[in-house]
Amino acid sequence: MTTECTDLSGPLPTSSVMAPEAGSTAAPALKDRLRDILDDHEALLGLYRDLAVLRRIDEQCLALARQGALALWAPIVGQEAVLVGAARAADRHDHLFISYRESLMAHLRGVPPEQVLPMWRGSALGGWDPAEYGITNPAIIVGAHGLHATGYAMAAALDGSQDRAIAFFGDGATSQGDLNEALNFAATTTAPVVFFCTNNQFAISVPIAQQTAVQPAQRAHGFGIPSLRVDGNDVLAVLAATRTATAHVQAGGGPYFVEAVTYRLGPHTTNDDPTRYRSAAELEAWRARDPVERMRGFLADSGLITESDADVVRSAADDAAQRYRTACAELPEPDAAGIFEHVYAAPHPLIVEERHAYADYLASLGGAAATAVPAGPSTGKEVPR
Ligand SMILES: Cc1ncc(C[n+]2csc(CCOP(=O)(O)OP(=O)(O)O)c2C)c(N)n1
Ligand SMILES: [Mg+2]
């Protein structure tokens, strides 16, 4: 006898707390999670300030990359509500495992700009002490840190500590084996970990429809992990969804999966030209759902923001952006030879060869670049001259 299994649970609705927009529905249960915040004018203004500050820092970092002061930047414009909502829902028991897209979550955790920027300038391999701030350095290997988060959570449970892990990753990461292994390990060990997927519709140029046949939040069900699909441009909905997830984990319910639906308004990184793979009309439709303006509109409609409040937020954002520019100018020059260090403890023939090839390439450019990478130890293959 065979049993046919065709129930994919159906598409999950996208839940909003603010006035729902196309494709989302109001979620009173999420609103219930925010009783303390919805009655607290300062807390609501604080969320708006966080959004505006991240937007300005992101603009500044993009400008620094365009000016050559940063080697690369992965913009978050359009996704600010995800970073702010999730980071502000997390407490000191939540250890955040982030990807490159969530670098500025470190700002919300108090990491100073001079420790956020070195990786992006190329002047250091890392940045800050993860244990000090409860947030890892950004993972560049897509999906790998889902395993790190799960391992951390399993260890925390074995230690009997109250600590939890939250792994932040993108829609594209859901195609990676590592992440799927992490989901399975977490589910079978009931590890205290939240899987937080930012579905910004693209993995570089690959649209979500080519990445997965069902929503990421639905896929979690196949592992036995409950999930929520939330409006990622609604900071209140993201905050409430993250609280729902951490409360579930804290109560011993095992892992929880959140999918925040949003859109990357900028390029994948400063090395990308998104006009090659998506339409201006699509971009405009999402620009109209700007998460920063949405929060401002919510506050204005509720009579909770005055002109002078808005001025205070603007100058806080400008000050933060200026601190990033100043910190960047004070960072050491990147050491081009540094990429060949720390891979192996002892000289390795492949690294030695690559270092020589890079030194030859730089020498071919002439000028200051010519001496940026000394050729280092012999490859043993040099042609006698
Ligand atoms: C294991 C691995 N494969 C490929 C890459 C190259 N890569 C960098 S970012 C990226 C897309 C990731 O998309 P998504 O997970 O949706 O995150 P987003 O960039 O949209 O935030 C890819 C394929 C990588 N860094 N790591
Ligand atoms: Mg993506």
Task: Convert the pLDDT of each residue in 279-319 to its tens digit.
Answer: 999 999 999 999 999 999 999 999 999 999 999 999 999 99
Same domain, yes or no: 65 and 137: yes
pLDDT at 1 over 70: no
Main-chain phi, psi angles of 286, to 5 degrees = -80, -30
Same domain, yes or no: 220 and 346: no
pLDDT at 350 over 60: yes
Same domain, yes or no: 227 and 346: no
Catalytic annotation present for 100: no
Answer whether residue 143 is part of any domain. Answer: yes
pLDDT 10s digits, 371-380:
777 777 787 7
Same domain, yes or no: 220 and 326: yes
Amino acid at 122: G
The mean per-residue pLDDT over the stretch 259-269 comes to 98
Ligand 1, atom 6: closest residue by C-alpha = 142
Same domain, yes or no: 114 and 199: yes
pLDDT at 50 over 60: yes
d(CA 223, CA 25): 26
Strand 256-261 with 202-203, pairing:
unpaired
Answer whether residue 4 is part of any domain. Answer: no
Same domain, yes or no: 205 and 347: no
pLDDT band at 340 (very low <50, low <70, confident <90, very high): confident
Answer whether residue 383 is part of any domain. Answer: no
The mean per-residue pLDDT over the stretch 122-139 comes to 94
pLDDT at 369 over 80: no
Same domain, yes or no: 160 and 80: yes
Catalytic annotation present for 256: no
Main-chain phi, psi angles of 197, to 5 degrees = -100, 120
Amino acid at 193: V
Atom of ligand 1 nearest to the CA of 211: 16
- Distance of CA 198 from the midpoint of ligand 2 (Å): 7
Ligand 1: which of 171, 204, 205, 278 to mutate, most ligand atoms within 8 Å of CB? 204
Q: In the prediction, which pLDDT does 335 show? A: 83
Kindly state if the Cβ of 145 falls inside 6 Å of ligand 1.
no
- Distance of CA 365 from the midpoint of ligand 2 (Å): 36
Q: In the prediction, which pLDDT does 24 show? A: 86
Domain count, the chain: 2
Residue 134 near residue 163, CB atoms below 8 Å: no
Answer whether residue 376 is part of any domain. Answer: no
**Residue range of the domain that includes 350:** 336-371
Around 319, how many Cα atoms within 13 Å sit in the side-chain half-sphere? 8
Residue 18 near residue 294, CB atoms below 8 Å: yes
Residue at token pair 């693209």: 202
For 41, residues 6+ apart whose C-beta sits below 8 A from its C-beta are 304
288: tokens are 């109209």
Same domain, yes or no: 286 and 341: no
Answer whether residue 378 is part of any domain. Answer: no
CATH of the domain at 201: 3.40.50.970
Instruction: Out of 121, 248, 268, 289, pick the active-site residue.
Output: 268
Catalytic annotation present for 41: no
Answer whether residue 1 is part of any domain. Answer: no
d(CA 223, CA 198): 19
The DSSP code for 122 is T
Same domain, yes or no: 151 and 39: yes
- Distance of CA 274 from the midpoint of ligand 2 (Å): 13
User: Which residue among 297, 330, 363 closes a domain?
Assistant: 330
Same domain, yes or no: 52 and 85: yes
Q: Mean of the per-residue pLDDT values for the chain?
A: 93
Same domain, yes or no: 295 and 196: yes
Atom of ligand 1 nearest to the CA of 200: 20
Same domain, yes or no: 355 and 269: no
pLDDT band at 228 (very low <50, low <70, confident <90, very high): very high
Q: In the prediction, which pLDDT does 337 show? A: 79
pLDDT at 145 over 90: yes
Q: Could you tell me which residue, 346 or 61, shows the higher pLDDT?
A: 61
Answer whether residue 8 is part of any domain. Answer: no
Residue 29 near residue 292, CB atoms below 8 Å: no
Residue 261 near residue 20, CB atoms below 8 Å: no
Ligand 1, atom 5: closest residue by C-alpha = 142
N- to C-terminal Cα separation, the chain: 78
pLDDT 10s digits, 172-224:
999 999 999 999 999 999 999 999 999 999 999 999 999 999 999 999 999 99
Q: Using alpha carbons only, what angle is made at residue 233 by residues 232 and 235, rounded to the nearest 5 degrees?
A: 85
pLDDT band at 41 (very low <50, low <70, confident <90, very high): very high
Answer whether residue 225 is part of any domain. Answer: yes
Q: In the prediction, which pLDDT does 111 show? A: 98
pLDDT band at 5 (very low <50, low <70, confident <90, very high): low
Q: Please report how the helices 145-159 and 177-189 are oriented relative to each other, as an axis angle in degrees rounded to 10.
A: 20
The mean per-residue pLDDT over the stretch 7-26 comes to 81
Atom of ligand 1 nearest to the CA of 74: 19
